[in-house]
Amino acid sequence: MPAHNILVINCGSSSIKFAVVNQTHAPFALSGEAERLGSPEAVLNWQLAGEKASLKIANGDHRTALTQLLPIVERAAGGTLRGIAHRVVHGGEQFASARRLDADALAAIRALAPLAPLHIPVNLLGIEAAIELFPTLPQVAVFDTAFHQTLPEHAFRYALPEHLYREHGVRRYGFHGTSYRFVSHRAAELSGLSLGDSSWLAAHLGNGCSTCAIVNGQSLDTSMGLTPLEGLVMGSRSGDVDPNLHSHLARTLGWSLEQIEQMLNQDSGLLGLSGLSNDMRSLEQARDQGHAGASLAIEVFCYRLAKSLAAMSCALPQLDGLIFTGGIGENSPLIRSKTVAHLKLLNLALDKPANARTIRGASGPIQAHGHPRVLVVPTNEERQIALDTLALLN
Ligand code: ADP
């Protein structure tokens, strides 16, 4: 019997990332992205069997893109498509694992829209179009928050009046859960430890950034909260600020809620601090050329990251290792070394050559001899989503 393929779909407001993931082969049979949907420049880019291709779909929306994708997916899967997996950003308290999409699940996801008003409606758009276009295939939702449903109450509650939690779901949920599940499995494998009997600190550093404490395969704390804005400095998100900042800006500058939200989510983080870019690669280059803003952004990023990891260590009985993942975690020896330099009290130290060479998809240990393990582990959220989906469908 041929191994099964899963089409993994990740809908953003103007984009759809997709991949056909095979149960047994590591490289994706098909991967790509529909970009700038809804605009005259809308385009579908994909890579099939090593060949790159693209198709202009001027003014095409999510549905148009999925319709165009259908024959390409069928070619990639060669008649062995087992199902479709949708990445859904927020699963609230209702979803602690992947779920087959039926009318009840769809209604439950729709009811979560107030928790992620920018993301849930576009996730639903993709799900509804896929159900219409692939009516005979089972469809599954995999949630970014699900892995963190094991947080104990002392970690997930805010110190706010109780009714805000009980009646309105105001609590910490956490995100990047699929990535943390994948890299913690890999870290245990790489170290010859059992995931069910090991304790990890992990940092997922992409455009969004977060940290997580993982004990015996379960998330016990994480830095993101009700929304992905809480916690670390990110590409264009501020991370933690004094909550009174909102009223301060409203009172002193007359800013509206929308202006404040835009500033905290799109104009802050590395971009706001540097005045230059939200992209770490550009900032490292600018720092090398003496750009003061880029240098400051990198210092604040690393200090805040180290502070968050130290805080996460409160949830661990012992430390079996620190995991770096995401575009920055996987590729930046500078950020790893600057962060670890702030964590001497955890006895962490890096081996310089190992840190320098573990980039561009390489994985493995980078700690100095005799110090606690530090691992670089490239994440693969699409593969984890496909594996979760196959486990559910089989
Ligand atoms: P997303 O969260 O969108 O999936 P990624 O995980 O791809 O993002 O991470 C993007 C970030 O990784 C960007 O800030 C990018 O500059 C950074 N990055 C990628 N390669 C390098 C590198 N060689 N050095 C430093 N930063 C890098």
Residue 287, amino acid: R
pLDDT by residue (tens digit) across 337-379? Answer: 999 999 999 999 999 999 999 999 999 999 999 999 999 999 9
- Our answer on whether the CB atom of 294 is closer than 6 Å to any ligand 1 atom is no
Contact (Cβ atoms closer than 8 angstroms) between residue 136 and residue 74: no
Helices (H), 24-161: 62-77, 103-111, 120-133, 153-156
Question: Interhelix angle for 333-341 vs 292-312, to 10°?
Answer: 60
- Our answer on whether the CB atom of 177 is closer than 6 Å to any ligand 1 atom is no
Give CA–CA dist 167/171, Å, rounded.
11
How many C-beta atoms lie closer than 10 Å to residue 45's C-beta? 13
State the distance from the centre of ligand 1 to the C-alpha of 235, rounded, in angstroms: 9
Instruction: Tell which one of 17, 176, 232, 281 to mutate to probe ligand 1, the residue whose CB is within 8 A of the most ligand atoms.
Output: 281
- Considering the domain boundaries, does residue 165 fall inside one? no
Which residues form the domain of 12?
Answer: 5-143
- Considering the domain boundaries, does residue 118 fall inside one? yes
Residue 138 and residue 197 in one domain: no
Q: Looking at residue 19, which CATH number applies to its domain?
A: 3.30.420.40
Tokens of 236: 């264009």
pLDDT at 145 over 90: yes
Q: Ligand 1, closest atom to CA 282?
A: 16
Instruction: Tell which one of 207, 288, 385 to mutate to probe ligand 1, the residue whose CB is within 8 A of the most ligand atoms.
Output: 207
- pLDDT reported for residue 79: 82
Residue 226 and residue 95 in one domain: no
- Our answer on whether the CB atom of 331 is closer than 6 Å to any ligand 1 atom is yes
Let me know if 144 is a catalytic residue.
yes
Residue with CA nearest ligand 1 atom 19: 327
pLDDT at 319 over 80: yes
Residue 107 and residue 206 in one domain: no
- pLDDT reported for residue 363: 98
- Considering the domain boundaries, does residue 177 fall inside one? no
Instruction: Tell which one of 237, 270, 280 to mutate to probe ligand 1, the residue whose CB is within 8 A of the most ligand atoms.
Output: 280
pLDDT by residue (tens digit) across 151-160? Answer: 999 999 999 9
**SS3 category, 321:** strand
Residue 249 and residue 370 in one domain: yes
Residue 213 and residue 314 in one domain: yes
DSSP one-letter code for 124: H
Give CA–CA dist 292/286, Å, rounded.
9
Residue with CA nearest ligand 1 atom 23: 331
Domain boundary among 108, 143, 178: 143
Taking CA atoms, 250 is separated from 180, 246, 293, in Å, by 37, 6, 27
**SS3 category, 335:** helix
- The residue-averaged pLDDT of 136-142 equals 96
- Considering the domain boundaries, does residue 387 fall inside one? no
Active-site hit among 144, 221, 320, 388: 144
- Our answer on whether the CB atom of 208 is closer than 6 Å to any ligand 1 atom is yes
Torsion of CA 178, 74, 139, 189, to 10 degrees: -30
Tokens of 231: 């916690």
The dihedral built from the CA positions of residue 89, 93, 96 and 101, taken in this order, carries a sign that is negative
pLDDT at 131 over 90: yes
- Our answer on whether the CB atom of 332 is closer than 6 Å to any ligand 1 atom is yes
State the distance from the centre of ligand 1 to the C-alpha of 4, rounded, in angstroms: 31
Q: Ligand 1, closest atom to CA 270?
A: 14
- What's the domain count of the chain? 2
DSSP one-letter code for 296: H
DSSP one-letter code for 222: E
Contact (Cβ atoms closer than 8 angstroms) between residue 273 and residue 233: yes
Tokens of 210: 């977060």
- pLDDT reported for residue 1: 52
- Our answer on whether the CB atom of 266 is closer than 6 Å to any ligand 1 atom is no
- How does residue 80 score in pLDDT terms, banded at 50, 70 and 90? confident
The dihedral built from the CA positions of residue 75, 76, 78 and 84, taken in this order, carries a sign that is negative
Give CA–CA dist 216/326, Å, rounded.
22
How many C-beta atoms lie closer than 10 Å to residue 3's C-beta? 11
Sort strands 16-22 and 30-35 into parallel, antiparallel or unpaired.
Answer: antiparallel
Residue 107 and residue 230 in one domain: no
Main-chain dihedrals φ then ψ at residue 267, nearest 5 degrees? -115, 5
State the distance from the centre of ligand 1 to the C-alpha of 104, rounded, in angstroms: 37
- Considering the domain boundaries, does residue 96 fall inside one? yes
pTM equals 0.96
Contact (Cβ atoms closer than 8 angstroms) between residue 376 and residue 362: yes
- Our answer on whether the CB atom of 235 is closer than 6 Å to any ligand 1 atom is yes
Residue 224 and residue 349 in one domain: yes
- The residue-averaged pLDDT of 42-56 equals 94
Angle made by CA atoms 94, 95, 96, in degrees to the nearest 5: 120
pLDDT at 82 over 80: yes
Residue 119, amino acid: H
State the distance from the centre of ligand 1 to the C-alpha of 205, rounded, in angstroms: 8
Residue 241 and residue 341 in one domain: yes
- Considering the domain boundaries, does residue 184 fall inside one? no
Domain boundary among 114, 143, 172: 143
pLDDT at 2 over 70: no
pLDDT by residue (tens digit) across 159-182? Answer: 999 999 999 999 999 999 999 999
Residues of the chain above pLDDT 70, percent = 99
pLDDT by residue (tens digit) across 279-303? Answer: 999 999 999 999 999 999 999 999 9
- Considering the domain boundaries, does residue 394 fall inside one? no
Residue 272 and residue 358 in one domain: yes
Q: Ligand 1, closest atom to CA 335?
A: 25
Residue 136 and residue 250 in one domain: no
- Considering the domain boundaries, does residue 168 fall inside one? no
Give CA–CA dist 126/147, Å, rounded.
22
Residue 224 and residue 301 in one domain: yes
pLDDT by residue (tens digit) across 88-98? Answer: 999 999 999 99
How many C-beta atoms lie closer than 10 Å to residue 323's C-beta? 27
Sort strands 374-376 and 321-325 into parallel, antiparallel or unpaired.
Answer: parallel
**SS3 category, 201:** strand
- Our answer on whether the CB atom of 352 is closer than 6 Å to any ligand 1 atom is no
Residue 115 and residue 203 in one domain: no
pLDDT by residue (tens digit) across 11-35? Answer: 988 999 999 999 888 889 999 999 9
